[in-house]
Amino acid sequence: MLSQSKIKYIRSLSNKKFRIQYRQFIVEGTKSVKELLNSNYIADSIYATKDWINNHSDSSVKINPIEISENEMGKISQLTTPQNVLGIFNIPDISINNLSLSGALTLMLDDIKDPGNMGTIIRIADWFGIKQIICSPKSVDIYNPKVVQGSMGSIARVNVAYANLLDILQNKSENIPVYGALLDGENIYKTTLESSGIIIIGNESEGISENLLPHISKKIMIPSFNTNLQKAESLNAAIAAGIICAEFRRRAI
């Protein structure tokens, strides 16, 4: 049985203001909840329907779920079709000091605004073994329910920090290369790529901010191989991130 104040509290976590205030966020669905439970994230509470609890009694769910009705699940879920399990997790303190820029590939996201793109990029990073992402403060919050959903559990394994990107680029060690995805860049398939460094992906419509450009050591571009005059102006930011990460990993092997 869920109290009205609990329902109100859980629903408030779909709002960034309250996530910041309470330092908690919502995760829905068996796969995502289990991946978070098997990570460094700390669970506050897990709510599940009777059916779900019966089907997962022998599983890896280490904390006892609180049984609620499907009707109650409908009230706290952010989904059109509620899944039968919802977890409340604590937001960890991940700062730029937790990341190490040397000897690793790091994605740097400059104002990625679309929650779907952000979730997908975190999933890409996880697939390609990229363990850290630095987001500009204006990027969408990774604890937004749509981002959590889109990442399919990958937020459990990728460290995401929010920081002033210019500060980082100005203060990083000089021998860390900085790649920027730009339409006027060098053909990514014809240029040399180091196995580590920072890869900057710009905002969906504005691209990379003007003030970061002087810090890019190599502009890279995904060629279209399309000779028609009329064609797409660009690729979606997440697609560009996927193709670029794949190419960096292909080269390093």
Nearest distance in Å: CB 134, a copy of itself: 19
Structure tokens at 54: 């019966």
State which residue, 99 or 165, has the beta carbon closest to a copy of itself. 99
Residue 174 binds to a copy of itself (criterion: CB under 8 A): no
By CB under 8 A, name the one of 83, 139, 154, 203 that touches a copy of itself: 154
Judged by CB under 8 A, does residue 127 bind a copy of itself? yes
Beta-strand relationship, 85-90 and 43-48: antiparallel
Give the footprint of a copy of itself on residues 13-52 (CB under 8 A).
Answer: 35, 38
- Residue 126 binds a copy of itself, judged by CB under 8 A: yes
Task: By CB under 8 A, name the one of 113, 128, 166, 183 that touches a copy of itself.
Answer: 128
User: Strands 24-28 and 105-109: what pairing?
Assistant: unpaired
Binding flag, residue 206, a copy of itself (CB under 8 A): no
- How many Å apart are CA 196 and CA 101, to the nearest integer? 9
> 159-162 and 132-135: which strand pairing?
parallel
Q: Provide, rounded to whole angstroms, the least separation between the CB of residue 64 and a copy of itself.
A: 24
Nearest distance, CB of residue 160 and a copy of itself, angstroms: 15
Segment interacting with a copy of itself (CB under 8 A) among 54-62, 65-73, 94-102, 234-242: 234-242
Given the complex with a copy of itself, which of 68 and 124 has the nearer CB atom?
124
Closer to a copy of itself by Cβ: residue 68 or 150: 150
Phi, psi of 86 (to 5 degrees): -140, 130
Which segments of 68-172 are extended strands (E)? 85-90, 105-109, 132-135, 159-162
Q: Residue 123 Cβ, how far from a copy of itself at the closest point, in Å?
A: 5
Positive or negative: CA dihedral 181, 186, 188, 191: negative
If one asks whether residue 72 binds a copy of itself (CB under 8 A), the answer comes out as: no
Residue entry with tokens 């790529």: 193
Q: Long-range contact list for 53-62, CB < 8 A, 24+ apart?
A: 56/30, 56/85, 59/34, 60/34, 61/33, 61/34, 61/37, 62/37
Question: Three-class SS of residue 198?
Answer: strand
Q: What share of the chain is helix, strand, coil (3-state, %, to 5)?
A: 40, 20, 40
Count residues binding a copy of itself (CB under 8 A): 41
**In the complex, what is the shortest distance from the CB of residue 235 to a copy of itself, in angstroms, rounded to a whole number?**
5
Residue ranges that bind a copy of itself, judged by CB under 8 A: 35, 38, 116, 120, 123-124, 126-129, 150, 152-154, 156-157, 189, 222-228, 230-236, 238-239, 242-243, 246-247, 249-250, 252-253
